């Protein structure tokens, strides 16, 4: 299956709405995750933002009030928890500050970013995967200062082609041949219902195709091709050709096509995000981090953001969008909307894939965390750090149909990072972050 099909399937808000029923076809029954630890950790990392414009004013604990920067996330509001008003205690008060992912002032603990801490904890617990953790994305236009291990900065894999080689070199997707169980009458009826829904959505997308311009039309052609491939998967499942008894689609593990690198770092990070999810689907790794941009310098040239032909931005992520522009910082607003779309697409793709153990969707078992290097990017402050948690996470996160919003009340931001470790089953949290601070995850986040 083509690497880009799921991401492109939800590229625009209109398409996301139309395709939402289709994505549920890949879930034969509602998620039944019981409270427990997540199996996969996806770290979505970007620079700071304009906190005044980003903050979801008017939100309550059980309802997120979106604004122009974040409204792209509305289709998955029931999946996310927004946390803000956390204080880095001075460790994330500038672009690229190590405290963003390494926690507090460290003391006796060496600089260690959260994805490395979680990866080490899984290894110590006996979790063995071909790759311990993946660091992907970013930009080579300025020095690295995001990911750390033993006080040494780590450089993510910048090239999608190199990432593909590292993840899938020598990898053989699981075979779907062998003994199968004949489908039951219930399986066949379920399959027929899915195919009818699929045909209806295909007709809607075909009608939409006639209203689009050339650029978006080409993207939609990819979506239609994806529908055809998934129709074949449903047919195979109904005939007993998938993994298991035909009660749902086969495992999401398949080797994607080798990606073609884009002409800029942010678009390459979007490709990296897709590769990371494919690596989860094949249980090649349990921990992946994808960085968007660079703390100091990153050239941006994006067009038709979220399907809007009038939404184009060009310039430098940090120097132009954060510093050269004055309020309302339109270019930064549009870039944040684009980042929200990437986050949305990742959630949708996780929902569309079966978990490697076929016990539910990959989403059910994954914790996604959107973290940043600082809080207010234009002012370079770190006293209002914000995070977005999403994913089934094995039942770790509390949920609300209208989303959840929590204020940290000035608590150390490393508590949010420690929550990610707890969700992944790490019980000894003392080796992370500020050794002098309380190593307690966030209150009221988990079940």
Do 93 and 146 lie in one domain? The reply is yes
Note whether residue 432 is domain-resident. no
Averaged pLDDT for residues 417-429: 95
221 and 145 share one domain: no
Which one has a higher pLDDT value, 121 or 202? 121
Claim to verify: residue 20 and residue 166 sit in the same structural domain: no
Domain-located, residue 438: no
Environment class of 128 (CB within 10 Å of its CB; exposed 0-12, middle 13-18, buried 19+):
exposed
The mean pLDDT of 102-122, rounded to a whole number, is 88
Same domain, 265 and 199: no
Asked if 281 and 296 sit in the same domain, the reply is: yes
| 163 and 228 inside one domain | no
Is the same domain home to 128 and 215? no
Question: Do 152 and 167 lie in a common domain?
Answer: yes
256-265 mean pLDDT: 93
Q: What are phi and psi of 101, to 5 degrees?
A: -115, -10
Average pLDDT over the chain, rounded to an integer: 82
17 and 55 within one domain:
no
Give 442: exposed, middle or buried? Use CB within 10 Å, 0-12, 13-18, 19+: buried
| Mean pLDDT computed over 27-56 | 75
Residue 19 contacts residue 236 (beta carbons within 8 Å): no
Same domain, 284 and 375: yes
Domain-embedded: residue 441: no
Instruction: Give the tens place of pLDDT for each residue, 370-400.
Output: 999 999 988 989 999 999 999 999 999 999 9
Is 136 in the same domain as 267?
A: yes
Residue 85 lies inside a defined structural domain of this protein: yes
DSSP secondary structure letters along 25-87: GG-SS---PPS---SEEEEEEE--B-HHHHS-TT-BTTB----TTTGGGGGGGGGEEEEEEEB
At 124 the pLDDT is 95
CATH of the domain at 283: 3.40.720
Please report whether residue 259 resides in a domain: yes
Q: Token pair of 21, please?
A: 């029923």
121 part of a folded domain: yes
Least confident interval from 188-197, 222-231, 294-303: 222-231
CA dihedral 101, 106, 109, 114 (to 10 degrees): -10
Tell me the β-bridge partners of 154.
147
Among the candidates 197, 231, 250, a domain finishes at 250
Residue 265 has pLDDT above 90, yes or no: yes
d(CA 439, CA 165): 38
Q: Does the pTM of the predicted model rise above 0.85?
A: no
Phi-psi label, residue 181: left if phi above 0, alpha if psi -120 to 50, beta otherwise:
beta
Per-residue pLDDT band for 310 (boundaries 50, 70, 90) equals confident
Task: State whether residue 432 is helix, strand or coil.
Answer: coil
317 vs 221, higher pLDDT: 317
pLDDT(239) > 50: no
Number of structural domains (the chain) is: 2
Which of 250, 280, 309 finishes a domain?
Answer: 250
Answer yes or no: is 443 within a domain.
no
Q: Is residue 447 part of a domain?
A: no
Quick: pLDDT tens for 170-223.
Answer: 888 776 444 445 566 766 766 676 667 667 766 766 776 666 655 555 545 555
* Same domain, yes or no: 418 and 273: yes
Q: Which residue has the tokens 């999946």?
A: 79
Domain hosting 193: range is 1-30+182-250
Determine the pLDDT at residue 8: 39
Q: What is the pLDDT of residues 330-344, one digit of tens each?
A: 999 999 999 999 999
Residue 163 pLDDT exceeds 70 = yes
- Cα–Cα–Cα angle for 275, 276, 280, rounded to 5 degrees: 115
Q: Single out the residue in 221, 250, 279 at which a domain terminates.
A: 250
């Amino acid at each position: 299956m083509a690497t880009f099909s799921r991401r492109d399937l939800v590229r625009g808000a209109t398409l996301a709405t139309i395709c939402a029923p289709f994505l549920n076809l890949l879930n034969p029954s509602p998620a039944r995750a019981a409270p427990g630890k997540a199996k996969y950790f996806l770290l979505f990392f970007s620079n700071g933002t304009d906190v005044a414009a980003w903050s979801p004013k008017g939100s309550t604990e059980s309802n997120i009030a979106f604004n122009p920067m974040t409204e792209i996330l509305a289709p998955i509001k029931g999946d996310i928890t927004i946390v803000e008003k956390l204080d880095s205690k001075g460790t994330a008060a500038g672009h690229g500050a190590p405290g963003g992912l390494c926690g507090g002032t460290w003391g006796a603990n060496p600089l260690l970013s959260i994805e490395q801490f979680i990866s080490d904890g899984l290894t110590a617990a006996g979790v063995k995967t071909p790759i311990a953790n993946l660091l992907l994305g970013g930009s080579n236009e300025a020095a690295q200062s995001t990911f750390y291990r033993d006080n040494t900065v780590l450089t993510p894999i910048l090239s999608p082609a190199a990432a593909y080689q590292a993840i899938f070199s020598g990898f053989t997707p699981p075979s779907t041949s062998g003994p199968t169980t004949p489908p039951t009458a219930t399986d066949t009826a379920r399959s027929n219902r899915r195919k009818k829904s699929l045909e209806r959505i295909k007709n809607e997308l075909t009608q939409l195709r006639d209203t689009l311009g050339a650029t978006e039309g080409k993207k939609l052609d990819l979506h239609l091709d994806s529908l055809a491939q998934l129709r074949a998967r449903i047919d195979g499942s109904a005939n007993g050709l998938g993994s298991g008894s035909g009660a749902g689609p086969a495992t999401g593990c398949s080797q994607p096509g080798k990606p073609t690198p884009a002409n800029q770092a942010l678009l390459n990070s979007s490709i990296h995000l897709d590769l990371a999810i494919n690596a989860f689907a094949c249980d090649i790794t349990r921990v992946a981090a994808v960085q968007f941009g660079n703390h100091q310098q990153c050239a941006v040239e994006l067009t038709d953001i979220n399907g809007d032909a009038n939404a184009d931005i060009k310039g430098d992520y940090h120097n132009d969008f954060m510093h050269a522009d004055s309020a309302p910082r339109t270019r930064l607003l549009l870039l944040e909307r684009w980042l929200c779309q990437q986050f949305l697409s990742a959630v949708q793709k996780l929902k569309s894939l079966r978990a490697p153990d076929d016990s539910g969707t990959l989403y059910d078992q994954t914790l996604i965390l959107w973290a940043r290097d600082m809080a207010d990017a234009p002012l370079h402050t770190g006293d209002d750090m914000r995070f977005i948690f999403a994913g089934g996470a094995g039942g770790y996160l509390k949920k609300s149909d209208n989303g959840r919003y929590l204020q940290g009340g000035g608590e150390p931001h490393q508590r949010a990072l420690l929550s990610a470790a707890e969700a992944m089953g790490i019980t000894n949290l003392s080796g992370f972050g500020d050794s002098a601070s309380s190593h307690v995850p966030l209150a009221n986040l988990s079940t």
